[in-house]
A = this chain, B = another copy of it.
Amino acid sequence: MSTTSTQIDDLVAAAVAAGDEWAGYDPAGRARVLHGVADALDAVGDTLVPIAQRETNLPEGRLRGELKRTTFQLRLLADVAAAGEHLDVRVDHADADWPMGAPRPDLRRTCVPLGPVVVWGASNFPFAFSVAGGDTASALAAGCPVIYKAHRGHPDLSDATAAIVVDALAAAGAPAGLFSVIHTQDEGRAALTHPAVKAGAFTGGIPGGRALFDLAQSRPEPIPFYGELGSVNPVFVTAAAAAARGQEIVDGFVASFTMGQGQFCTKPGLFLVPAGSGLAAKLGAAVLPEGHRLLNPGIADGHHESREELAARDDVSVLAGGGGEVDPPSATLLATAAADLLAHFEEIFVECFGPTAVVVEYDDEAQLLDVARALDGQLTATLAAQDDDAIVGPLANILARKAGRLLWNQWPTGVSVTYAQQHGGPYPASTASGTTSVGTAALTRFVRPVAWQGFPQQLLPGELRDDQTVPAPRRIDGVLQAGPGQ
Contacts and interface: CB of A to CB of B under 8 A. Distances in A.
A258 to B, nearest CB: 18
A313 interface: no
A14 B252 CA distance: 41
Contacts of A435: 449
Interface string A389-403: 000110011001101
A434 B114 CA distance: 9
A343 interface: no
A103 to B, nearest CB: 8
A32 interface: no
A72 B85 contact: no
A451 B387 contact: no
Interface residues of A, number: 93
Interface in A77-112: 80, 85, 88, 90-92, 98-102, 104-105, 107-109, 112
Contact of A450 (B101, B400, B486): B400
A441 B90 contact: yes
Contact of A405 (B224, B397, B453): B453
A481 interface: yes
Given A401-B112, A454-B409, A414 B102 contact: yes
9 contacts: A72-B99, A72-B100, A92-B421, A102-B414, A221-B426, A405-B452, A419-B475, A440-B478, A480-B480
Nearest to A427: B221
A183 interface: no
A244 to B, nearest CB: 15
A486 B416 CA distance: 30
Contacts of A114: 433
Contacts of A24: 397
Q: Which of A109, A424, A435, A482 has the most chain B CB atoms inside 10 A of its CB? A: A109
Contact of A85 (B112, B447, B458, B480): B480
Contact of A421 (B107, B376, B406, B407): B107
B217 A416 contact: no
A436 interface: yes
Interface string A62-84: 00010011001100000010000
Nearest to A478: B419
A454 B407 contact: yes
A414 B405 CA distance: 41
